[in-house]
Amino acid sequence: MSKAWQHFKTITHHKILVAQGCFKVGLYKQGIMHDLSKYSPTEFLVGARYYQGTRSPNNAEREDTGYSAAWLHHKGRNKHHYEYWFDYSVERPGEMVPVPMPDKYIAEMIMDRIAASKVYQGKKYTDASPLEYYRSGHGSREHALIHPKTRAVLEKMLLMLAEEGEKKTFECISRELVHKN
């Protein structure tokens, strides 16, 4: 099969898993709209070119060219990535700083991380996989520019997922992030 077809199947499988998670916590519109930019030529063609099936093609593009144009396009259009949430600081003029993510996008980010772990790990996936990936340096405290509030919620939910499972974590996400009012 062609790399383009394999990439299409991978991103579609990921999108379906995110939608299922979003629907379980009440984020219907976000579940449907999640990652539509991955089907745009800017992201899709790069994904097909660098497709490997075991990790994001953006990593391979970054290794090849020094940056990922697909990732820059993606994170600038998808509010479920903490990298989207940067603005100029009020306290330190001219400096860009992370700002808190709205709770509904934190919830979608968690579903995104769970789905990505399921897609790339397959049968090796456990409820601890998203936390392990996070702690390995992919968004962890040492490497990420993420607002402290966003980080605290993300870490709380990933730890709950690892220790108490998906059902309890999704109930908590629904109650604390989606339907809290």
Residue where the block lists tokens 């062609």: 2
Rounded to an integer, the average pLDDT of 145-173 is 97
What was the pLDDT predicted at 139?
54
Rounded to an integer, the average pLDDT of 35-43 is 97
Instruction: Flag whether pLDDT at 137 surpasses 80.
Output: no
How would residue 18 be classed by pLDDT, with cut points 50, 70 and 90?
Answer: very high
Instruction: Flag whether pLDDT at 41 surpasses 70.
Output: yes
Among residues of the chain, what percentage have pLDDT more than 70?
Answer: 95
Rounded to two decimals, what is the model's pTM?
0.93
pLDDT digits (tens, 9 = 90+) for 74-107: 999 999 999 999 999 999 999 999 999 999 999 9
What was the pLDDT predicted at 73?
97
What was the pLDDT predicted at 136?
87
For residue 163, give its domain range: 3-178
Number of structural domains, the chain?
1
User: 47: which residues sit within 8 A by CB, 6+ positions away?
Assistant: 7, 11, 38, 57, 58, 70
DSSP 16-72: HHHHHHHHHHT-HHHHHHTTGGGGSHHHHHHHHHT--SSS-HHHHHHHHHSS-HHHH
pLDDT digits (tens, 9 = 90+) for 71-82: 999 999 999 999
The two structure tokens encoding residue 126: 């456990």
Instruction: Flag whether pLDDT at 133 surpasses 70.
Output: yes
Instruction: Flag whether pLDDT at 46 surpasses 90.
Output: yes
Instruction: Flag whether pLDDT at 141 surpasses 70.
Output: no
